[in-house]
Amino acid sequence: MTKGIFITFEGIEGSGKTTQVNLLAEKFKAEGFKVLKTFEPGDTLAGKKIREILLNSNVPINSLCELLLYFADRVQHVEEVIKPALKEGYIVICDRFTDSTLAYQGFGRGVSIDLIRNLNKMLLGDFMPDFTVLLDLQAEIGLKRNKDINKRDRFEMEDIKFHNKVREGYLQIASIEKERFLVIDAYRPPIEICEEVHRKISLIFGL
Ligand code: TYD
């Protein structure tokens, strides 16, 4: 059976991930590929309930509880949605994955990076994205973009220092796994970003 390709988009709030997921999906669809768009947290029935707890800032949870809820969402998501689609040869494009946990819970909240990596290994084994796009931009600008559309969930309530730590974390993660990551300046026009991402993925996977 043909195996699909698992692509993830990462970045801080307001970095334009959702726009890029949509643009890239349309581009591959137009070329005749089977494409599945998905996201974390919350793209399964169980995940929707987990997401409610995770993002509702009125429900107090500590950092470890938060970490485990993200993984609970992820293990369900991988088994129920991602793996079956890959098995059927889909290009799966996912808005956020384990790199978000490393950046937000690890670098942002200060949970041990080793703990997150070990947990990931125990729960998902070797399963990981084939390719990851990191949309990088200054935290001030990302937050401002989101404020303009009035988003106020648990993470949008965090201060600029938190979001700077998340951004730096992402850049550090990407610098360790240069092969898997494409780091993109998210200030650039969306169409131009999509063209570059598409060109690079097509080249790497011979599409
Ligand atoms: P969402 O509304 O989907 O926002 P975005 O458009 O920024 O992806 O909210 C997801 C939030 O959850 C986002 O603030 C990042 C956070 N998050 C983590 O902290 N850890 C994780 O592992 C994941 C997947 C997301």
The per-residue DSSP string of 91-115 comes to EEEEE--HHHHIIIIIIIT---HHH
- Average pLDDT estimate for 89-116: 98
Asked if pLDDT for residue 120 goes beyond 50, the answer is yes
Where does the pLDDT of residue 149 fall: very low under 50, low under 70, confident under 90, or very high at 90 and above? low
Cα distance between residue 62 and residue 193, in whole Å: 37
Closest residue by CA, ligand 1 atom 7 = 13
Closest residue by CA, ligand 1 atom 17 = 100
Contacts of 206 (CB under 8 A, 6+ apart): none
Asked if pLDDT for residue 1 goes beyond 50, the answer is no
Question: What's CA 175's distance to the chain center, in Å?
Answer: 17
- What is residue 153's DSSP assignment? S
Q: Which atom of ligand 1 is nearest to the CA of 39?
A: 3
With beta carbons less than 8 A apart as the criterion, state whether 103 and 173 touch: yes
Cα distance between residue 83 and residue 124, in whole Å: 11
* Backbone Cα Rg of the chain: 16
146 lines ligand 1 (CB under 6 A): no
CA 32 – ligand 1 centroid, Å: 30
Question: What's CA 158's distance to the chain center, in Å?
Answer: 19
- Tally the domains of the chain: 1
The whole-chain average pLDDT of the chain stands at: 95
Query: What's the domain range around 77?
Result: 5-205
CA 2 – ligand 1 centroid, Å: 31
Question: What's CA 73's distance to the chain center, in Å?
Answer: 13
Cα distance between residue 94 and residue 72, in whole Å: 17
pLDDT digits (tens, 9 = 90+) for 167-203: 999 999 999 999 999 999 999 999 999 999 999 999 9
107 lines ligand 1 (CB under 6 A): no
In the prediction, which pLDDT does 147 show? 72
Q: Calculate what percentage of the chain has a pLDDT beyond 90.
A: 89
CATH of the domain at 142: 3.40.50.300
73 lines ligand 1 (CB under 6 A): no
| Tokens matching residue 103 | 């950046």
CA 61 – ligand 1 centroid, Å: 15
Where does the pLDDT of residue 2 fall: very low under 50, low under 70, confident under 90, or very high at 90 and above? low
Closest residue by CA, ligand 1 atom 14 = 155
Looking at 115-162, which runs of residues are DSSP E strands?
131-136
131 lines ligand 1 (CB under 6 A): no
Query: pTM for this structure?
Result: 0.96
In the prediction, which pLDDT does 154 show? 81
Q: Which atom of ligand 1 is nearest to the CA of 151?
A: 2
Fill in the amino acid letter for 199: R
With beta carbons less than 8 A apart as the criterion, state whether 133 and 87 touch: no
pLDDT digits (tens, 9 = 90+) for 15-68: 999 999 999 999 999 999 999 999 999 999 999 999 999 999 899 999 999 999
